[in-house]
Amino acid sequence: MIENAGGHVYNAPIVAFGAEAGQIEFPKGDPDYRRVHDKVVRISPKEGTVTLKLIPGFSFAKPVFYLTLDASEPLPATMEGVTLAPGLRDITLGRDDSAFSAIERLFAIVNGPRGKDNPQRQGFNSALAGEGQGPLNVIGGIPTVATDYSPLWDVNVGEWTKTAIDKGYRSRVIEEFQILGLVQGGHITGPGGAKFGSTGFIVNCPVVHRFL
């Protein structure tokens, strides 16, 4: 049971399933990932606690930490190491920032700058190569900055064009309108040169901390 002001449950992800409490008692870490969520660091049903791994990202040019919990499709669920939640497909996409929209946008870059020690590092290619923690995605409205926040993100994937890379434009992007400007200028497109926009994937990624 999660209690907060008003007694409402806003976001209650599954962190373990099909296991007895004694099978997931890992208060010092090193949990059995066959039985618990991949983002679990420590878990103790006896103490009623669970520690989840946070993911770094950016919003409005501010660094943030967020949780990655569920995804609507197998591909993002596998890439993010989260629970496949097909029920998320029932949520309407393409209504970002509109009245009564249930989603915000998440901007992910495929081929951002590479290098473990590169301060500009970003993107799926870098993250999958083990160069740092996560792809450093950019997300839209967050609590305390925007009034249209939602933890459900409509994934928009971008790719730097060869021309932009050859001209030295490729760098870390940290803000929604910065990315949209680069899209408008033709420097970032969808994967493989496709039109930039929604992939049709939804991920559940509640923001938990803003640094600035």
Reported as a single tens digit per residue, the pLDDT across 81-97 is 999 999 999 999 877 87
Helices (H), the chain: 74-80, 124-128, 162-166, 176-184
First to last CA, the chain: 32
- DSSP three-state, residue 184: helix
State the number of CA atoms in the 13 A half-sphere of 101 facing the CB: 19
Q: Is the pTM of this model over 0.85?
A: yes
- DSSP three-state, residue 164: helix
**Dmax over Cα atoms in the chain, in whole Å?**
57
Structure confidence at residue 198 (pLDDT): 94
How confident is the model over 22-61, as pLDDT tens digits? 999 999 999 999 999 999 999 999 999 999 999 999 999 9
Domain ranges of the chain: 1-52, 55-210
